[in-house]
Amino acid sequence: MSDMRQMTEQGRRIESDSFAIIDSEVGPHGFPAAEWQIVRRVIHATADFEFKDLMAFHPEAVASGIRALQRGCPLVLDVQMIAAGLNQERLNHFGCQTFCSISDPDVIARARELNTTRAIESMQKLQRLGHLEGSIIAIGNAPTALLEVLRLIAEEDLRPALIIGVPVGFVAAAESKELLTQTQVPWLAARGRKGGSTIAVAILHALFALAVEAV
């Protein structure tokens, strides 16, 4: 697959025109080219120019994410909505599989038993199954999933290739993302309360496109 743009000529033209409008309205910025491709796609997905000021990157985030995709890393997701937004052809091209266990019966039962959250128990289950190591972890909905990943990094020496931390919300969302920015594992975050599964999908699509360009 050499082209990950829209499938029709009209679709490509609309996308290109949209990106041109974004570039024009944003004007000068301090993002390197690869990071800007990600930020621009987030703005494109949301029509929200505030993300220009909210997006933050670990210095190795883009390079680590590209390498991980090129080797067919697992994509660990906090919610199925992210998986629904991904392009199966792109996943197949790199040999990447998605993993999300938040709706698994055993995860739900354990969360009820321990009075935790499904997001926490989901990350713990995927860690036990060995899916988190070397993965790209994309969290768009559940701050507790992000906090659990950070705990696993600190206490169990987990080393994912990249954490996409963009959970949306009012309880622990901003705080979890600030903690993410303090870790040495490559990360990519949208600071503050804003975020969501749509943002996570846009970031992954941008990384897929960058991974193709890097071949």
- Decide if 1 is inside a domain: no
Mean pLDDT of 167-184: 97
Is it the case that residue 208 has pLDDT exceeding 90? yes
Q: Which residue has the tokens 């790209």?
A: 136
Note the pLDDT tens digit of each residue in 119-149: 999 999 999 999 999 999 999 999 999 999 9
pLDDT value, residue 47: 96
Percent of the chain that is helix, strand, coil (3-state, to 5) = 55, 10, 35
- Decide if 66 is inside a domain: yes
Residue tagged active-site, from 29, 44, 131, 205:
44
Q: How far is CA 32 from the centre of its chain?
A: 19
Note the pLDDT tens digit of each residue in 34-91: 999 999 999 999 999 999 999 999 999 999 999 999 999 999 999 999 999 999 999 9
pLDDT value, residue 9: 78
- The domain of 84 spans 9-213
Mean pLDDT of 168-195: 97
- Decide if 198 is inside a domain: yes
- Decide if 3 is inside a domain: no
Domain count, the chain: 1
Per-residue pLDDT band at 195 (split at 50, 70, 90): very high
Is it the case that residue 175 has pLDDT exceeding 90? yes
DSSP class per residue in 132-178: STTPEEEESS-HHHHHHHHHHHHHH----SEEEE---SSSSHHHHHH
- Decide if 4 is inside a domain: no
Which CATH number goes with the domain that contains 148?
Answer: 3.40.50.10230
- Decide if 125 is inside a domain: yes
- Decide if 172 is inside a domain: yes
Per the model's pLDDT, the better-predicted residue between 5 and 123 turns out to be 123
- Region for residue 169 given its phi and psi (left: phi exceeds 0; alpha: psi -120 to 50; beta: otherwise): left
Tell me the pLDDT of the chain averaged across its residues: 95
Share of the chain above pLDDT 90, in %: 91
Instruction: Assess whether 131 carries a catalytic annotation.
Output: no
Q: DSSP character for 190? A: E
- Decide if 17 is inside a domain: yes
Tokens of 95: 């040999």
Per the model's pLDDT, the better-predicted residue between 47 and 7 turns out to be 47
pLDDT value, residue 6: 57
Per-residue pLDDT band at 12 (split at 50, 70, 90): confident
Mean pLDDT of 142-160: 98
Mean pLDDT of 9-35: 91
pLDDT value, residue 5: 54
